[in-house]
Amino acid sequence: MPTGVSFPRWLVRLVCGLVLAVVLHGSGGVVLAQAIETEPVFLDGLFLFDVPAAGDLTAAERALAIETNLNPLIERAEPVDVQAELRNVEGSDGATLSSNPVILAGDRYIMTVTNADVQVGEADTLQAQADQWVNAIATALSQARSDRQSGFWVQALTKTLTALAAALALHWLAGWLWHRWLWAVLNRFAFSPIDPDDPEHESTGLNLLFRISLFLVRCAIGFAALAYVANLFPLTRRISYRVTQSLREGLFDRSLLLGDRSYSLLGLMMLLAVLLAVVIVASALTNVMRSRVLRATGISIAAQEAIAVLSKYTLILLGTVVILQLWGIDLSSIALIASGLGIGVGLGLQGLVKDFVSGLVLVFERPVQVGDFVDFGDVSGTVTRIGSRSTAIRTLDHVSIIVPNSRFLESEVINWSHDNPVSRIRLPVGVSYSTDPQQVKVALLDACKKNQEILSAPAPQVFFLGFGDSALNFELLVWIAQPNRQFVIKSDLYFAIEASLHYHGIEVPFPQRDLHIRSGHLPIDLSPEVQQLLQQLRNASDQS
């Protein structure tokens, strides 16, 4: 470990988050100039430049005319000389009004450069703009002729396979680096070691950051490989340009209005990333508060969990407000949007909202707390976590059952640990009718003395419940301090009761039933012939 001045991790992370928010806020202040309507010009799928409308032609009509003038030049075997010449525009009186450069390819007219073209191309003069476009046309014509040579398809397919193989290698390398290097870095920002393969780990924010960043990097690798392959073939170059341009405009154009300011989609995505970082930092601070501060106070685990949950939500709320203010988003506009979405949230997300509100009720009212042993329907287990939407119950089989918070307030819950964990369990016992009840009481109380988990105060009790069908019914009542071990204690007690009853010679009967057969007449109508035959048989038996 290098020596030197070290700062607390939470302070370093807080400073980094504020610096990132300020930088992003500064970058969000840049306003892109609204460009005039333009149309791209292509030559054999290669993008040349954008042109605006000119004269009576719209931008699309002008771009189509330029492409129509350029396409026949591709088939020429000899190189074509592309140049720009000045042509004067004369008025009706013969006076020279202006001079505009005209781009020619050999003896073929291509286009006239106008002042609107200078605004789009951002050149200093008309001639400079014309020279730029002349170079672009000449380069595209040269590449288009080379694409029609005999070895082009073999080279293109070779480059395609190479690009795909490189993309697959980078895809694997990104996963390896993320698991071997980035996860080690994230562990340094965590207050306890974390495992990316553990779905139940408490550092869900870091897990989410890890997975989202890896997914975005792999998507960027795949998109770059597809764009490179698409630019290799004339048939797909135009599609590649259109898709790339649409993505660029969708990400960088400030077309989303919040209040009186406009934002780009990329800016909002960066804002969401910063808000996610706020959630991660709040979770980390809550974890260190739970593990180092609250645990040292000696208060109950349920109180620690309640304080940690409230602190986490408070930090997230305050951090979100600060970030939105630094970003320049008017909170009144957010309030208007939230009020507009309130109806949709109430109708479409009422289940989630109900679970969230129920979670707050559980935290404040605390009818069920972390560490309590509960019976919920057919489920018996210990509450391990009370989240914003659901509660986790760990059963005796060490199976986690996730229950929505609202069900704890809508259904009956048996909480064995509420207020006081000391509880009483009942064990029914049946003995033979020939047994002395006082001897049964002694035997049952002797069985309790051998179990150390049974409390001596209050003392165990034996109740004589009454007379059953085949046994005298008793009930043994004992007090325990660990309700989560009641099934183990019951099993141990039954073993001890069986041994004690056997020692005292007390019999445990099994159910018995007595069967009585009574004579009578069968309600069956017989024919006279049958009755006569039966009477003869009866007389014969009486004589014998």
Q: What is the pLDDT of residue 495?
A: 92
Q: Is the pLDDT of residue 80 over 60?
A: yes
Q: Is the pLDDT of residue 5 over 90?
A: no
Q: Say whether both 228 and 266 belong to one domain.
A: yes
Q: Say whether both 391 and 406 belong to one domain.
A: yes
User: CATH no. for residue 411?
Assistant: 2.30.30.60
- Token code pair at residue 418: 């509420």
Q: What is the pLDDT of residue 169?
A: 93
Q: Give domain status of residue 306, yes or no.
A: yes
Q: What is the pLDDT of residue 284?
A: 77
The distance from CA 227 to its chain's CA centroid, rounded to whole angstroms, is: 29
Q: What is the pLDDT of residue 518?
A: 62
Instruction: Answer with the residue of higher pLDDT: 324 or 541.
Output: 324
User: CATH no. for residue 458?
Assistant: 3.30.70.100
- Which of 427, 428, 435 minimizes the C-alpha distance to 507? 435
Q: What are phi and psi of 462, to 5 degrees?
A: -125, 125
Residues of the domain holding 496: 423-503
pLDDT tens track for 341-360:
565 555 556 667 777 777 77
Among 129, 147, 165, identify where a domain stops: 147
- The whole-chain average pLDDT of the chain stands at 76
Q: What is the pLDDT of residue 1?
A: 36
Q: How far apart are the C-alpha atoms of 89 and 87, rounded to whole Å?
A: 7
Are 114 and 100 in contact, with CB atoms under 8 Å apart?
A: yes
pLDDT tens track for 322-346:
888 777 776 665 665 566 556 555 5
The distance from CA 193 to its chain's CA centroid, rounded to whole angstroms, is: 21
Q: Say whether both 441 and 407 belong to one domain.
A: no
Local structure of residue 178 (DSSP, 8 states): I
- Count of domains in the chain? 4
pLDDT tens track for 115-158:
888 888 888 888 888 888 889 888 888 888 787 777 778 888 88
- Token code pair at residue 213: 């960043």
pLDDT-above-70 percentage for the chain: 75
Q: What is the DSSP string of 414-436?
A: EETTSS---EEEEEEEEE-TTS-
Q: Say whether both 174 and 309 belong to one domain.
A: yes
Q: Say whether both 315 and 168 belong to one domain.
A: yes
Q: Give domain status of residue 374, yes or no.
A: yes
Are 327 and 251 in contact, with CB atoms under 8 Å apart?
A: no
Q: How far apart are the C-alpha atoms of 263 and 328, rounded to whole Å?
A: 10
Q: What is the pLDDT of residue 166?
A: 92
Q: Say whether both 384 and 472 belong to one domain.
A: no
Q: What is the pLDDT of residue 29?
A: 37
Q: Say whether both 137 and 63 belong to one domain.
A: yes
Q: What are phi and psi of 436, to 5 degrees?
A: -75, 120
Q: Say whether both 189 and 235 belong to one domain.
A: yes
Mapped onto helix, strand or coil, the DSSP state of residue 360 is helix
Q: Say whether both 407 and 431 belong to one domain.
A: no
Q: What is the DSSP string of 425-494?
A: EEEEEEE-TTS-HHHHHHHHHHHHHT-TTB-SSSPPEEEEEEE-SSSEEEEEEEEES-GGGHHHHHHHHH
Q: Give domain status of residue 342, yes or no.
A: no
Q: What is the pLDDT of residue 205?
A: 56
Q: Say whether both 391 and 489 belong to one domain.
A: no
Q: Give domain status of residue 458, yes or no.
A: yes
Q: What is the pLDDT of residue 462?
A: 92
Q: Is the pLDDT of residue 10 over 50?
A: no
Segment among 7-16, 309-318, 425-434, 487-496 with least mean pLDDT: 7-16
User: pLDDT band at 478, cuts 50/70/90?
Assistant: very high
Q: Say whether both 229 and 90 belong to one domain.
A: no
Q: Say whether both 298 and 180 belong to one domain.
A: yes
Q: Give domain status of residue 400, yes or no.
A: yes
Q: Is the pLDDT of residue 91 over 70?
A: no
pLDDT tens track for 161-218:
999 999 999 999 988 887 777 766 655 555 444 454 444 444 455 666 677 778 888 8
Q: Give domain status of residue 18, yes or no.
A: no
SS3 content of the chain, % helix, strand, coil (to 5): 55, 20, 30
Are 443 and 462 in contact, with CB atoms under 8 Å apart?
A: no
Q: Give domain status of residue 520, yes or no.
A: no
pLDDT-above-90 percentage for the chain: 6
- Which of 422, 383, 424, 420 minimizes the C-alpha distance to 405? 383
Q: Give domain status of residue 123, yes or no.
A: yes
